[in-house]
A and B are shown apart, each in its own frame.
Chain A
């Protein structure tokens, strides 16, 4: 009998000791998917036969003494913007529902090389932007903590599938918060790595200069394991950094004593006011870090709306350029939320785009200066627990400034970490941000926080 919920690290320890077979593990997930996914809608395409085949191969390799590492035999899911050879990659859209790539995305290839088993393709907001939508070929994913609630987006299926224990980890993408949002609302840990750390080659783009690929999983440790496999230079991605990749999992150890944290309270107390439960949970988390030996001081940055305006203008222009031709010829093949957001994007001018890029340079310099004597920045990842799925406004991303897009603008590593639950049992979160390429510090802080608090012991009742 395989436990309903296992972290990647827990399952890997059992697989390495041959106390758990990848075949058993995959079969247990397939049973769970059969039982639960009818109401959660996390999978667009289940690859059951392929997963069983790959699990048998992993089991044979491990039995032959060829254990590859902590992803060997681990079932994961892919946001359906990650291309997969011979398997449709749709962007959750009618526009690309027949798109069958010839090759895997670079990061998918690396995950397979690490031994991960691909269970299937997961729901996303349409082309990583338009959702939650009810007029697409597949329904939107539902939050396992309460199926009437929003998962966050756009990596909606990944957040829901991991949180429900259908897969042990998954891939997301984050252009304005699309990893950190689902992690926040689904009670997970989700890392948007430094820009350029993971290749975007073979991932359907939303906005080239803001797109980040990354993992979602239950813990910081699991994020470290996935990042280790996914990171690395890819000459085929012009935004891919050519830098040595550290040992992220190894760097989790050593504690956080002495780390200096800047707490950006005005983002969530004034600029996009979070509810009382979120504010209290973040205050408690800051206190926890102090108890672990960190220093926490208040940090004031430009108004959140300035960061959001910069990010939104860039995102709108870059996304519009990608979809321009199809919008002209297949407008109503897109869902209403995506296409109407794109109409607004079409109204952003070339001058606006250049002003946004100029503002970006100023904001990057501002954060670099602010972090000169800091190791980390801490703020909210979301202003509340997950709202009802049918109460997400079409233009909500413009109505309240995003708490997450600032760090897409700067390319900084940023992570959502669960920091408690509402009285109604819905997850709360904070966001922790590092200097560019200091992803290991972000993961180490999140890991220390998780170890010092009880939140990782809680799972949704399904």
Chain B
């Protein structure tokens, strides 16, 4: 993500981030991109793979 792309994203988010913090955030974006990459298995996931449900239905 370029600095200009970050600036545009911050406008969409409605965040007024001080200028001096933006470069540091932009430099950390690759760390976030690694997180995003790891969520997707190589070759993709079974289309029917559902998310985890945290709250379970009580046993009958």
Given the known A-B contacts A344-B32, A348-B32, A398-B32, are A331 and B58 also in contact in the complex, defined by CB atoms under 8 Å?
no
Q: Which B residues are in CB contact (< 8 Å) with A347?
A: 1, 9, 29, 32
Q: Which B residues are in CB contact (< 8 Å) with A355?
A: 39-40, 45
Given the known A-B contacts A344-B25, A347-B32, A358-B45, are A310 and B39 also in contact in the complex, defined by CB atoms under 8 Å?
yes
The reply to whether A306 and B38 contact each other, CB–CB distance below 8 Å, is yes
Partner of B39, one of A239, A309, A339: A309
How far is it, in angstroms, between the C-alpha of A340 and the C-alpha of B9 when the chains are bound? Answer: 14
How far is it, in angstroms, between the C-alpha of A395 and the C-alpha of B27 when the chains are bound? Answer: 10
Q: Which A residues are in CB contact (< 8 Å) with B21?
A: 336, 339-340, 343
CB distance from A415 to the nearest CB of B (A): 22
Q: Which B residues are in CB contact (< 8 Å) with A305?
A: 34, 38
Q: Which A residues are in CB contact (< 8 Å) with B14?
A: 328
Q: Please tell me if A99 contacts chain B, counting CB pairs below 8 Å.
A: no
Binding site for A on B (CB under 8 A): 1, 9-10, 13-18, 21, 24-25, 28-29, 31-32, 34-36, 38-40, 45, 49-52, 54-55, 58
Going nearest first, the 10 A-B pairs with the smallest beta carbon separation are A357-B51, A309-B38, A398-B31, A355-B39, A361-B52, A360-B52, A309-B35, A395-B28, A328-B14, A209-B54
Given the known A-B contacts A355-B40, A398-B35, are A327 and B50 also in contact in the complex, defined by CB atoms under 8 Å?
no
How far is it, in angstroms, between the C-alpha of A363 and the C-alpha of B52 when the chains are bound? Answer: 10
CB distance from A339 to the nearest CB of B (A): 8
Binding site for B on A (CB under 8 A): 195, 208-209, 238-239, 242, 305-306, 308-310, 312-313, 327-328, 331-332, 336, 339-340, 343-344, 346-349, 352, 354-362, 364, 394-395, 398-399, 411
How far is it, in angstroms, between the C-alpha of A336 and the C-alpha of B34 when the chains are bound? Answer: 23
CB distance from A210 to the nearest CB of B (A): 9
Q: Which B residues are in CB contact (< 8 Å) with A348?
A: 32, 35-36
Given the known A-B contacts A305-B38, A331-B15, A359-B39, are A239 and B54 also in contact in the complex, defined by CB atoms under 8 Å?
yes
CB distance from A209 to the nearest CB of B (A): 5
Partner of B16, one of A208, A331, A364: A331
Q: What are 28 inter-chain pairs, A to B, with CB distance below 8 A?
A: A239-B55, A305-B34, A308-B35, A309-B34, A309-B35, A313-B35, A331-B15, A331-B16, A331-B17, A339-B21, A340-B17, A343-B25, A344-B32, A346-B9, A346-B13, A347-B9, A349-B36, A357-B51, A357-B52, A358-B52, A361-B51, A361-B52, A362-B49, A364-B52, A394-B24, A395-B31, A398-B32, A398-B35
